[in-house]
Amino acid sequence: MLPHLRKLTVKDDPPLPDLTSIGNKVYDQSKITAEQIANEIVKTKSKSIISLRLGRVDVDDEPAANWLRTVWLSYRDLCSLIDKALEAPLEISGTYFAISNNHRLWVDLENAKQDLGYVPQDGAEK
């Protein structure tokens, strides 16, 4: 990644709906709405909710040959992050990107690393 480019963060970059394809629009809107509902529940009910924004997981557990390799999420890293989320202290709540340690990673995994102890083991270029 170019060093002067800022990675997307959950805090500073809210999800934007895909306006180009009808199928993705419904999916994106439901995902955004679910995260907003979770945030409201955490604020008003003192509950702990962990939302994961999953990268690309495919049936072969292999990174794609195109730009999708930047958001590849291996089975091992997915399972690891789910374990970390389930084992997290009850006071931990938030939304976290779930992506492997890919070379051109353009989203920030720091809050998942700090809050949940997530350390991705795989990467698309390894």
Residue 100's nearest CA partner among 69, 61, 74, 126 is 74
Percent with pLDDT over 70 in the chain: 87
Mean pLDDT, residues 52-59: 92
Q: What is the pLDDT of residue 9?
A: 83
Q: What is the pLDDT of residue 81?
A: 97
Cα separations in angstroms, 20 against 23, 57, 70, 107: 9, 22, 21, 22
Instruction: Delineate the domains of the chain, giving CATH numbers in brackets.
Output: 22-116 (3.40.50.720)
What is the per-residue pLDDT across 65-110, written as a single tens digit (0 to 9) for each? 888 899 999 999 999 999 999 999 988 989 999 999 998 888 999 9
Look at residue 31 and give its three-state secondary structure: helix
- pTM assigned to the model: 0.81
